[in-house]
A and B are shown apart, each in its own frame.
Chain A
Amino acid sequence: MEPILDVRDLKAHFFTRRGVVKAVNGMSFRLHAGETLGIVGESGSGKSVSQMSLLRLLPSPPLKIVGGEAFFRGKDLLRASDAELRAIRGDRISVIFQEPMTSLNPYLRIGAQVVEPLLVHRKMTRAEAWHEAEAALDRVGIPATRNALDAYPHEFSGGMRQRVMIAMALTTRPEVLIADEPTTALDVTVQAQILALLKDIQRETGMAIVLITHDLGVVAGLADRVLVMYGGRVFEEGSAEQVFYASRHPYTMGLLRSTPRLDVDTEVLPSIAGVPPDLARVGEGCPFFERCPVRLPQCSLFPAAREFGSGHVGYCHWKGEGSPWEVPARFVSKG
């Protein structure tokens, strides 16, 4: 099956006075219709910048795309004109962000904001657009009364605002929804409501979702495929089951075991020593090198993709068995 979105070796760098920050340093992935791709990583991993740069949602300068291709239905987004991109963004590819208060216009009533994509992209009449907006709000669980349409964003709670964002993103029936930490600012009981809503809508419409999150639990519940990023690089990509249960990458394995769990008592939570790299200083090597328990001399060059399993790809020179985190310190190669 043809992927909807086919990104190859994307490189997006920030050119700052401090130097070149390699926020995304070679990222490839494919997204298929109806699937949810979870992109996980810690802050500064490049998970968000990669998606925002595809849609030109970041100011340039300082951001510049320095390499790669990104085919959406056969059209290279990176080489599309601004007008071509505008026609896709907010219409066939929609985005929702972490903080709905900053992405909604505080001066405009909710109704006026929900109809906007329809007026811009669908050239609907106002009456048609309002009708659609009501239906969209209804679908996300906001009774589309006059009250709701006439309200200003600050009159809504965080959860309701995120529902409004989702309604706006969905009015045009996009083929792809990019959700950037959509529930991070919400309480867990509200998060559960929003995640269930996204799942329901996906089942109805068949849209693909790119779910960007730092929360491995959210990914475990929602994602079909998972992509793990660190220091601007993709470390691993596979089905949720492959990444969670059959990872062969030291970082993924370290991340999973250092995550506190609600369902089990843990006596000692193993941590990963050190801190994430300064992206202005990473060279051609693996960005996890300093913190890796099994680093090798060849890690000074970032590895090529390697099959961990069918449809399961990893980027690591280490080929040992078992968990690298159990290896006694004295056997660890210092590279």
Chain B
Amino acid sequence: MGSPSAIRVEGLKVAYGVRGGFFRRGLSSVRAVDGVSFEVAPGEVLGLVGESGCGKSSLGRALLRLVPVTAGSVQIDGLDFLALRGEALRRARPRLQMVFQDPYGSLDPRMTVFDTLAEPVQAHEALTSGRVAEQVYNALEMVGLTRAAARRYPHEFSGGQRQRVAIARALILRPLALVADEPVSSLDVSVQAQVLNLMKTLRRQLNLSMLFISHNLAVVRYVSDRIAVMYLGKIVEIGPREAIYSRPRHPYTEALVSAVPIPDPRRERGRVHIKVTGEPPSPIDPPRGCAFQSRCPLATERCRLEAPVLESLGADGHAVACFERGPGKV
């Protein structure tokens, strides 16, 4: 075997208990993540796309054990992350870090940037205050902020700068892998490009693996090597970036890619938009069979009864979960 995957996820399930209606006191559950498997190689960026409620954020959080996992395993650098307890877990945590959408919500408003960055270092490494300061300043420099930024509070920064602070905090313990959940979605376009470029540069410099979660397919195309498409708790298609955007196989991926408007009037007006009707079904009561069948133009009787699994389409790692578009189908 070659080098182990940085992230290896197998059969992961996340379910939340929800209260039924007023008269239905019983607890039902939302299967937010419903049996997901994938790997991310060292230094690779896997983009995870899907619409709201598809489970992409739950999946990202599950990797860091921020939400309870009901089944499956997560290996980080060969280490069984979900089985770890106590001190072993504490020592493993720095390997996988997270960047959230809203840096204003994920940074403590009462802490200076210095304290925000020093905290994880002090918690995980026994260092002199001088060495801690050195690490803080290095991290700031890495994300393009000056030493002067260390004395300031989150509210004194613009959205883009705050996200830089959040990235510095995620990287200060030199993680192997990063889960980035909509990291640029609250930023304006001109600033968004700055943060995306920073993430691309850091990934190259640090050989960082990344699970990059976003609803924005154009942003994901820019940063990812491979893409996974999620729908109602399942990965319905996964493959190299080029394959997903140029040769999508799953009817949902096709619809998703065709629905994203392109900032180019002639091209946009000449495009054929594949229309899907309706909206995703509720994950509380998912349909039997394929999750997409209620909106799928290709759905057959079989799709209503049986759930398709991911099947490989070739050597390039492109795989799709669809009876009508699987291997051997046109």
Contact = CB atoms under 8 A, between A and B. Distances in A.
A331 B21 CA distance: 68
Contacts of B194: 271-273
A275 B268 contact: no
B191 interface: yes
Given A157-B279, A260-B219, A269 B268 contact: no
A159 B279 contact: yes
A244 B269 CA distance: 13
A262 B217 contact: yes
Contacts, number: 132
Looking at B160, B191, B256, the one whose CB has the most chain A CB atoms below 10 A away is: B191
Interface string A182-193: 000001111111
Interface string B157-188: 01011000000000000000000000000001
Contacts of A195: 261
B268 A259 contact: no
Given A214-B188, A221-B261, A263-B262, A188 B215 contact: yes
B25 interface: no
B259 A189 contact: yes
A160 B280 CA distance: 12
A258 B265 contact: no
Contacts of B191: 271-272, 275
B190 A217 contact: no
Contacts of B218: 217, 259-262
A259 B189 contact: yes
A188 B190 contact: no
Contacts of B158: 275
B259 to A, nearest CB: 4
A187 B51 contact: yes
B263 A216 contact: yes
B30 to A, nearest CB: 16
B52 interface: yes
Given A262-B217, A263-B267, A275-B158, A218 B261 contact: yes
A187 B262 contact: no
Contacts of B106: none
Nearest to B158: A275
Given A42-B188, A188-B217, A241-B266, A266 B222 contact: yes
A262 B218 CA distance: 4
A269 B266 contact: no
A268 interface: yes
Given A192-B275, A269-B222, A262 B190 contact: no
Interface in A246-271: 254-256, 258-263, 265-266, 268-271
Given A188-B217, A275-B158, A275-B191, A262 B269 contact: no
Interface of B: 51-52, 158, 160-161, 188-194, 196-197, 215-219, 221-222, 241-242, 245, 255-257, 259-269, 273, 275-277, 279
8 A-B pairs with the lowest CB-CB distances in the bound complex, closest first = A217-B261, A271-B193, A216-B263, A42-B188, A187-B51, A272-B190, A258-B193, A192-B259
Given A189-B51, A220-B267, 7 more contacts: A43-B188, A187-B215, A189-B255, A220-B269, A244-B264, A255-B189, A262-B262
